[in-house]
Chains A and B, each alone.
Chain A
Amino acid sequence: MADMSKMEELRKSRTQNFKNVISGKGPVDHIPHFGNMWSWKYYDAGYKFSEALLDYNKMSDAIGQFCQRYPMDVVYETGWRNPIQVTGILGNGNDYIIDDDAYSISIRDQSYMEDGDYEKLIANPKKYLWEEFLPKKFSVLKNQNNSVDFRKFMEKYLEFGGKMGEIGALVNSYGCCNFADPNGPADYWGFGYEILFCIMRGIRKLSVDLRRRPEQVAAACQALDETFAIPRLERGMAAPEGSNPDYCVDMNPVMLAHIILNPKQFERYYWPQFERIIKAAKEKDKLVFLFIEGESKRFWDFFQEFPKDRFAILSELDDVYEMKKALPNCVVCGGMTADLLGRGTPEQCVDLTRKLIEDLGGSDHRYIFSTGKMISFPNDCSRENLQAICNYLGSIHY
C-alpha cells in the first residue's frame, strides 16, 4: 500500500478537483472518474455475489482489490447498498433473491402498507411505522417484547456500520474520495415519496394510488417529509455555510421512484423535495450530485431551475449530449456504455472516453467521466477495458 500521507494528499486534491468541476470556482486539473461500479467489483475479485454480501471480509477484500486495480476518484458503492445480513436478521430475508449464476440481486415488489392505512400514516407516521408497518415487513418486530432478537439486530446493525467505516477508510487509503456528506441538508434517505414507492406501497400499488387516492398520496408524502426530510433540511440549514471540504458534494439525491411519474405528477409529488435541495444549495453554498436511475428527459424543464454551478447529474439511460445541451446550468456525468465497456475493445473504450471528454468537457473541462448504467453483471465490463480507461484518464493533466 502506498504512503498514507501521499494518498491523503491525493484524496484531498481529487475532492477539491471534483468540486471545481461542478462549481467552476477553481482550476480543474484532471477529469474526475466517478466509479459507477456495483456488484461487478465482487465478480472481478472472483467471489460469488452471495459470498461477498454475506462475508464482510470478502466484501472488503474485493473492494480493496478494485481500488488497487482501477485507480479512480470515486468508488460510489462500497458495500452499503444491500445490507442483507442486517435485514435478514430482522426477518426480511425472503424478500431478496440472489442469483449467483446471473450475478443479480432482486427484490419482489413489496406492498406491506395496505390500502386503508393511509390515514393512519398521515395522522402519525412514526407511530404507524413502528407499531404497524415495520412489524409486517420484519417478522422479528411482530413481537414487540422480543428484546433478544432486537438486540441481535442492533448488534448486526452496529457491525454493519463499523464495517462500512472500515471499508471507507480502506477506499481512502487508495486516494479515493469520500463522496457525499452524510450530514448534508438532503439525501436520498428520508424523502417521503421515495419511501412510499420503494419501501411501503411498491410500484403497482403506488401507480394505482396516484390515480385512485392522489390527495392521500400527497398528504402521506407531506407527513413523511415533515418527519424525516424537513428536520434534516433544517439541521443542514443551521450548519455552517460552504461546501464541506472532506466530501466531493454536500447532497446526493437519488431518483428511483420517478420512473412511474408523468410530468404533472412529478411536479406535485417530487419537485417539492428539489425545491428544498435548491434552497439549501443556494442559501448555504452547497454542491449537489443527482443520481438518476432510468431516464429523466421528461423532467428537464424542471431541471432548468437548478442553480448554475451547483449541480452535477448522472442520468442512467439519457443521452449525455442531449442533456448537456438542454441543461447548460448543470455538469453532466456519464456517457460510457456498458455495451462497449463489456463487449468492446480497450481501444474503442479509450476512443469513446476521449470523445466524451472533448465534446462534453469544453475548454474548462467541466465534465465527470462515468458509465450511465450501474455496472453490475459479468458482461457489463471487462477488466482490460476498465484498466485501459483508468490508465487513459490518469494520463490527462491540465
Chain B
Amino acid sequence: MADFNELVQVMGDLEEDEMIRILEEVMADGGSQAQAAMDACQAGMNQVGKLFEEGEYFVGDLIYAGELMTQAVDILKPALVGGEASSSGKVLLCTVAGDLHDIGKNIVHAMLEAAGIEVVDLGIDVKPEAVVQTAKEQGIHVILLSGVLTLAVDSMKATIEALKAEGLDVKVLIGGAPVNEEAVALTGADEWAFSPQKTVKVSQEWLSAYAS
C-alpha cells in the first residue's frame, strides 16, 4: 500500500523517481486510491510553495515542480472520478497583450490545478477583448493577469477597463515582475501577487465567495 505521507514528502523534495514509484504503486490495483494520491501531490506542491516563499526554492524549482505535477496527473488521471479531478471552481489565466513571457503564468497554472482549481489558460499576448469574451462565454468571475515587461501594466489596465466596460462581475488579480501596489492602483485590479501561493489562496477565497 502506498505511503501518502511519503508521497507528500517526495513531492515537496522534488524527487521525481520516488514520486513515479509511489504513483505506479497506487495504480497497480487500478487506482482505487488515486484521489488520495492526488491530494497528497497537492499537499506536496503546497510544501514546494512554502519552500519558495522561504527562499529555499526558486523559479527553476517551481518549473520542475510543475513538470512533476503534470506527470502525476497523467499517471493518475485514468483512475480519477469522471477522468478528472474534482474542481473547486474555474479561473481565467493569461499573459497580457504585448508580452510573451509565460514561465510565471505556467507555474501558477500548475499550482492552481494542484489546488483543484480548473484553469482556462488563454496563453500569451492575449488581447483584452479575448479575455472579455472568454469570461462572458464561460461565466468566469476570477481573472488572473500575468506579465513581465513594464508595458504589461498598460495592457493589464486596458484589460480591466474592457471587463468593466462590459459590466462583468469579476475580480482581477495581477502578477509578474512589474506588478506592485502602485500597479494595482494604476490598473484598477483588485489584488496583486508575487508568489504563486498567494495567487492560489486569493483565487480560492474569491471562488468560495462566488460559490456561496
Contacts and interface: CB of A to CB of B under 8 A. Distances in A.
Most chain-B Cβ atoms within 10 A of its Cβ — which of A102, A210, A343? A102
A60 B55 CA distance: 44
Contacts of A212: 16
Interface string B61-97: 1011001000000000000000000000000000001
A349 B44 CA distance: 46
Interface stretch (A9-17, A199-207, A273-281, A389-397): A199-207
A379 B60 contact: no
A338 interface: yes
B210 interface: no
Nearest to B52: A262
A304 to B, nearest CB: 16
A204 B58 contact: no
Contacts of A339: 182
A377 interface: yes
Contacts of B154: 379
B161 to A, nearest CB: 16
Interface stretch (A69-77, A103-111, A246-254): A103-111
Specify the main secondary structure of chain A where it touches its partner: helix
Nearest to A298: B55
B126 interface: no
A296 to B, nearest CB: 11
A373 interface: yes
B59 A260 contact: yes
B170 interface: no
A211 interface: yes
A261 B64 contact: no
A204 B59 CA distance: 10
A265 interface: yes
B68 to A, nearest CB: 9
B60 A377 contact: no
Interface string A265-298: 1000000000000000000000000000010001
Given A207-B60, A208-B63, A260-B59, A97 B100 contact: yes
22 contacts: A101-B98, A102-B97, A102-B98, A103-B151, A106-B100, A206-B60, A207-B61, A207-B64, A208-B67, A210-B60, A210-B64, A211-B60, A260-B60, A262-B60, A263-B55, A339-B182, A342-B150, A376-B151, A377-B149, A377-B151, A379-B150, A379-B154
Given A203-B103, A262-B58, A379-B153, 9 more contacts: A103-B151, A206-B60, A260-B58, A262-B57, A262-B61, A265-B60, A343-B186, A377-B149, A377-B150
Interface of A: 97, 99, 101-104, 106, 108-109, 203-204, 206-208, 210-212, 259-263, 265, 294, 298, 317, 338-339, 342-343, 373, 376-380
8 cross-chain pairs, A with B, having the tightest CB-CB distances, nearest first: A260-B60, A102-B98, A207-B60, A207-B63, A262-B58, A377-B151, A106-B100, A260-B59
